[in-house]
Amino acid sequence: MVTPKQLLSIIESSVVSPFPPSPAQRIELLHAIRTLLPSFKSLLSYPPPRPSDRAQVRSKEVRLPNSPPISLDDQDVQIALKLSDELYLNEIDCVQLLVSANQEWGLVGRGPLEILRLAAGLWYSERRDIMMSLYTLLRAAVIDPGLEAGLVADIQKYLEDLINAGLRQRFISLIKELNREEPAGLGGPLSEHYLLDSRGALVERRAVVYRERLLLGHCLVLSVLVVRTGPKDVKDVFSVLKDSAAELSESSDTIKHQITHSLLFFLVIAFVSDALSALSDKSSILSHDASFRKEFQDTVMAVVNDPNSEGFVGGVRLAWVAHLMLIHDEIGLGEAVSTVSSNEFGYINFCLESVFAKNVFHFLLEKVLRSAAYQNDDEDMVYMYNAYLHKQITCFLSHPVARDKVKESKEKAMITLNTYRMAGDFVHDGSMQGEQAAEGVPLPFVSLLEFVSEIYQVGSSVCV
């Protein structure tokens, strides 16, 4: 049986190494990922506690799979049951975890708290190895250049089957579930707050779980470029995004911001990639159904009270309106022109009004692109985010309806500028900061210019 640690090593040696894998390595890789297929399908899903297994542990004699019965002392029983309570794990599996921790670290002479932290750390390390294996495969299929075409095709097919079997929904569920204050998530109120990682360093359990959620977010983003997403996933991620963004009002935690960014860019990439596919040889999955267009339009335009949530929802509105603009012609081919004209243009104009009225460009620029969380995120993920922002704004500015709105916004800015000049409030400093200072925040047209400049600066070297 291939362990999660061995699996990650096999994958990295085959797809991350600067040297192409040998035929033997390729066979080993394909065998390993097929062997671990059930673990990927039921990602981070473990047998729960059971009264009969708890009773067996308390009897101090436990029969582990494929091994003779083992005897436990009072301390072993106490730690195994505490692990079960704190991690919501089956009691027999907790005994196996203690056995593995003893093989890894040697537990003789260690105190109960240290043993508990070592065993919990080993469990979280195994989880991370499984998630990193998935992330590395997704990255190989989406980003990595230079891999042999046949190997990429095998990985792509493997991932497509996993995603079509429900893996993406599992990503979404886990991002939600792991954020709960309960044993299966961040831990209960009486749970041990720390664990010992693979280096023996003391780390906070909550921080480890946040990193798991971020890694799942990255996997979620990459998955949309392997298999295009459908309406259900979009609606579910949008709901999680609003909840995640609302938490940022009370937290400056960098990883929490990065998790929220991953959810936002899942939607940006989903809308842009789906619409661009519709312009080539494929139809739009997301907007094929008029009922979804209406439902999501109502959902995304609903009033949001939390300022952070409103800002990120504004980012989704911008992506949604760009999507609607791109797929407008395709919709017109399959539905009555009068219906398209009244509904779709109504959606587009309503979204555009909100995007400019709320100055979404300013929020995305200051709270996302220029934030430390964004700039210190995973380099490959930021590369993808920038690439699709570049695609999105190019498509947006290429549409005549958007150009008319930009022209209108420019005229309003010029009127405001002239008003300040006549009032003597404009500062002659060679910039447009005078009217910005008067309002406290930049005008939408000014923010759009800065937003476009920022995107094209980073996007000029991106070719995806």
CA distance 385 to 130: 24
When pLDDT is cut at 50, 70 and 90, the band that residue 339 belongs to is very low
384: in domain: yes
Dump pLDDT digits (tens) for 242-293: 999 999 988 889 999 999 999 999 999 999 999 998 777 678 888 888 899 9
When pLDDT is cut at 50, 70 and 90, the band that residue 329 belongs to is low
Residue type at position 157? K
Do residue 101 and residue 244 come from a single domain?
no
432: in domain: no
The sign of the torsion formed by the CA atoms of 451, 456, 458, 462 equals: positive
Residue 170: the pLDDT is 98
Do residue 311 and residue 200 come from a single domain?
no
Q: In the listed set 227, 257, 272, which residue is the last one of a domain according to the structure?
A: 227
- Contact of 58 with 46, CB cutoff 8 Å: no
CA atoms within 13 A on the CB side of 374: 18
Do residue 256 and residue 372 come from a single domain?
yes
Do residue 192 and residue 308 come from a single domain?
no
Do residue 91 and residue 41 come from a single domain?
yes
Which of 171, 136, 137, 143 minimizes the C-alpha distance to 157?
Answer: 137
When pLDDT is cut at 50, 70 and 90, the band that residue 424 belongs to is low
Token look-up 């930021």 returns: 382
Token look-up 């400093």 returns: 429
Which of 274, 261, 266, 256 minimizes the C-alpha distance to 236?
Answer: 266
Q: How far is CA 373 from the centre of its chain?
A: 14
42: in domain: yes
When pLDDT is cut at 50, 70 and 90, the band that residue 172 belongs to is very high
Q: In the listed set 227, 245, 260, which residue is the last one of a domain according to the structure?
A: 227
Residue type at position 130? I
CA distance 244 to 288: 29
Do residue 149 and residue 190 come from a single domain?
yes
pLDDT at 428 > cutoff 90: no
297: helix, strand or coil: helix
Question: Based on the structure, what is the number of domains in the chain?
Answer: 2
Do residue 155 and residue 55 come from a single domain?
yes
Burial 65-93 (b: 16+ CB within 10 A, else e): eeeeeeebeeebbebbbbbbbbbbbbbbb
427: in domain: no
Which domain, by its residues, includes 110?
1-227
What are the distances in angstroms from CA 325 to CA 275, 295, 347, 380?
9, 17, 10, 28
CA distance 138 to 132: 10
Here the contacts of 29-32 (C-beta below 8 Å, separation 24 or greater) are 29/151, 30/154, 32/2, 32/6, 32/7
Do residue 207 and residue 240 come from a single domain?
no
What are the distances in angstroms from CA 189 to CA 176, 192, 451?
18, 9, 43
Residue 420: the pLDDT is 59
Do residue 116 and residue 243 come from a single domain?
no
279: in domain: yes
346: in domain: yes
Q: In the listed set 183, 207, 227, which residue is the last one of a domain according to the structure?
A: 227
Non-local CB neighbours of 196 within 8 Å, separated by 6+ positions:
114, 117, 118, 120, 121, 202, 203
Mean pLDDT over 3-18 rounds to 92
Do residue 188 and residue 273 come from a single domain?
no
Do residue 243 and residue 174 come from a single domain?
no
433: in domain: no
Mind giving me the DSSP string for 161-175?
Answer: HHHHTTHHHHHHHHH
The sign of the torsion formed by the CA atoms of 225, 226, 227, 230 equals: negative
CA distance 234 to 264: 11
DSSP state of 429: S
Do residue 267 and residue 213 come from a single domain?
no
302: in domain: yes
